[in-house]
Amino acid sequence: MSDVVTVFSPAKVNLHLAIGERRSDGYHGARSVMHALSLHDTLTVRRECVSGSDDFSVQVRCVAHEGVEPLEISSEDNIVYKALMKAADAFDRGRGETVDVVIDKHIPHAAGLGGGSSNAAAALLAACRLWGVDPESREVFDIAAGIGADVPFFLRGGCAVLGDRGDVFERELVPMKGALVLIRPNAGVSTAAAYRAFDEDPAPVSSSALENERNAQSAEDLQLFNNLASASERVLPELVRVREWLGAQQGVIKDERTGEPCVLLSGSGSATFCLCESMAAAYGIVSAAKLEGWWARSCTFVSAGARIMEKNSSVCATNLGASQRIW
């Protein structure tokens, strides 16, 4: 017997990231606002039952598209493998089964766009569908949180405020619409290296940034903010050039309160994004960025998280908007 599930796995950007000092537990306090994007990977998950065996095996293969660097790691090192193994253990499923996963990669890695975390969330949804588990159960969200700080966000999508270490859901914001451009230079930024640089020269969080995030009811209420960006720029100086180049492009929205271009590094990078006046403007910026030798994509903000793509339907089923809010 064979079952196949295809899952939409979106990217994200951080509209607001406020990093605090290192705590006694070794982590940094963080406040983050994430927003899902139309840029996405697709996971095709195929389950087969193997007679005469009690083993559970998982194989993961990545196929890179549109200039994304191939992710050359073993199945066992892929976060999707880890997600499926944790799910099988928690749900007591998988004996006598093999699961093959093909990830069509459009989200670059080491970019601050959450591709790996999104793939893990998508794998959990696929497991729930294949094994008849409620994707809204507390157990699924607990598994997600145990895999990575960003994974639970992708089970919901939209726009969310997270506190503690940037991993605890506090509230939803009304998602926004509109076009943006993502640019990644030909190198990534190690999150660990960015935090080391931050600890050497911490950038304070302004009271105005904290107040803006605290009072925001929608994504559009936020002023873009990231106090980790300067540390990442010290790790990868080319990010300064990307930021300055984007800020000088026609069609980039300017913040009506400050007059500054709406340009920001997402998380620790290395992807920088800008808000655009129109999709036509976004297309023009992408074309110009590619001439600079950078990976660049236009996309839009969306309200969906990871979701099952139903067969024979133009509509994707999703857990977004479900009545339960247990995250």
Count of alpha carbons within 13 Å of 141, Cβ hemisphere only? 15
* From 82, 86, 105, 150, active-site residue: 150
The answer on whether 117 is annotated among ligand-binding residues is yes
Cβ partners under 8 Å of residue 294, min gap 6: 183, 184, 185, 186, 242
In this prediction, residue 262 carries a pLDDT of 98
Is 89 annotated in the active site? no
Partners of 30 in beta bridges: 19, 165
Q: Where on the phi/psi map is residue 229: left (φ > 0), alpha (ψ -120 to 50), or beta?
A: alpha
The answer on whether 109 is annotated among ligand-binding residues is yes
User: CA 183, CA 13: separation in Å to the nearest integer?
Assistant: 12
Cβ partners under 8 Å of residue 150, min gap 6: 12, 34, 114, 117, 118, 167
In this prediction, residue 1 carries a pLDDT of 43
Residue type, 216: A
User: CA 184, CA 62: separation in Å to the nearest integer?
Assistant: 20
Q: Is 15 helix (H, G, I), strand (E, B) or coil?
A: strand
CB 114 within 8 A of CB 152: no
Residue 185 has phi, psi (to 5 degrees) of -70, 180
Query: What's the whole-model pTM score?
Result: 0.92
Is 77 annotated in the active site? no
Let me know if 188 is exposed, middle or buried by CB neighbors in 10 A (0-12, 13-18, 19+).
Answer: buried
- What is the CATH architecture of 1-316? 2-Layer Sandwich (3.30)
The answer on whether 26 is annotated among ligand-binding residues is no
User: CA 39, CA 315: separation in Å to the nearest integer?
Assistant: 17
In this prediction, residue 50 carries a pLDDT of 87
* From 12, 82, 86, 105, active-site residue: 12
- In this structure, what token pair is assigned to residue 232? 């990442």
Cβ partners under 8 Å of residue 38, min gap 6: 10, 299, 300, 301, 302
The answer on whether 111 is annotated among ligand-binding residues is yes
- Dump pLDDT digits (tens) for 167-185: 889 999 999 999 999 999 9
CA end-to-end span of the chain: 34
The answer on whether 116 is annotated among ligand-binding residues is yes
Q: What is the pLDDT along the chain (327 residues), one digit of tens a residue?
A: 459 999 999 999 999 999 998 888 888 999 999 999 999 999 999 999 988 788 999 999 999 998 998 888 999 999 999 999 999 999 999 999 999 999 999 999 999 999 999 999 999 999 999 999 999 999 999 999 999 989 999 999 999 999 998 888 999 999 999 999 999 999 999 999 999 999 999 999 999 999 999 999 999 999 999 999 999 999 999 999 999 999 999 999 999 999 999 999 999 999 999 999 999 999 999 999 999 999 999 999 999 999 999 876 444 443 333 333 334
In this prediction, residue 322 carries a pLDDT of 32
User: CA 111, CA 71: separation in Å to the nearest integer?
Assistant: 13
In this prediction, residue 312 carries a pLDDT of 60
Residue type, 212: N
